[in-house]
Amino acid sequence: MPIQAKIGPSILNADLANLAAESQKLLDNGADYLHLDVMDGAFVPNLTFGHPMVKCLRNHIKEAFFETHMMVQNPEQWIAPMADAGVNLYTFHVEPVKDVCNVTRKIQEAGMKVGLAIKPGTEVKEIEKYIDVADLVLVMTVEPGFGGQSFMADMMPKVEWLRNNYPNLDIEVDGGVGPKTIDCCAKAGANWIVSGTAVVGSADQRQVISELRNVVKSYLK
């Protein structure tokens, strides 16, 4: 199956007190999936939310595709709770993990898809040996931990290398991505687009989501 353009708003920028309604609005406006940023205050200096909130969100939103971006020191610890919460894609950072293959196996055994994430300072070659067991690779285009940062265009060679070597891989970018930066992401080969502020804070979410998707589609072969 050819790779597809997918737009996943990051709900970190949404009104967390009204998360179910805000998330449903994003889906109604054309979002393909929801990107849920989980931070533990250790791997990154910020703290967000965990599996209880994800489970509550799933109780309100039955059908949508949930990706959890696990910015945590010990991703293995949260596999079972997130699977129970109804997560579809469990994306974790490889940097703090000693046995990546063990974590990917446990994610698969729990019934979730596997995403591998790398920070800006991590070379893409460091995950090359694990790509065969991954459903998606996330290239961070900001330092993980906070929303609203400026996009790092110098991460695009990582995306290009992945696309050239793995033409059928789902490649995700996250951080500072919006209408002004989507073209270079799509041109480099990203097909899963996480966008926070640009989508969630827009007066016309549907228009922005559609614009992002159309740019990605224009570069897909």
pLDDT along the chain (221 residues), means of 10: 94 92 98 97 95 98 98 98 98 98 98 98 96 98 85 98 97 97 98 96 97 98 72
CA distance 29 to 206: 5
CA distance 65 to 82: 13
Annotated ligand binding at 86? The verdict is: no
Verify whether residue 37 is a known catalytic residue. Answer: yes
Residue 146's pLDDT is what?
Answer: 74
In a domain, 1, yes or no: no
Q: Cα separations (Å) of 199 from 33, 137, 149?
A: 13, 22, 15
Q: How many domains does the chain have?
A: 1
Which entry of 40, 135, 170, 174 is annotated as an active-site residue?
A: 174
Which entry of 28, 37, 99, 135 is annotated as an active-site residue?
A: 37
Nearest to 138 by CA among 98, 101, 99, 89: 89
Residue 13's pLDDT is what?
Answer: 83
In a domain, 56, yes or no: yes
Nearest to 70 by CA among 28, 29, 112: 112
Question: Alpha helices, DSSP H only, in the chain?
Answer: 19-28, 51-60, 79-84, 100-109, 156-165, 182-188, 197-200, 205-219
In a domain, 36, yes or no: yes
Nearest to 189 by CA among 205, 171, 201, 176: 171
Annotated ligand binding at 189? The verdict is: no
Residue 150's pLDDT is what?
Answer: 92
In a domain, 149, yes or no: yes
Annotated ligand binding at 8? The verdict is: no
In a domain, 131, yes or no: yes
| 99: number of Cβ within 10 Å | 9
What's 212's domain CATH number? 3.20.20.70
Verify whether residue 154 is a known catalytic residue. Answer: no
CA distance 52 to 167: 36
Q: At 6, which helix (H) or strand (E)?
A: strand 6-9
- Structural domain boundaries, residue 165: 6-219
Annotated ligand binding at 174? The verdict is: yes
In a domain, 155, yes or no: yes
What are the structure tokens assigned to 85, written together?
Answer: 């919460």
Residue 27's pLDDT is what?
Answer: 98
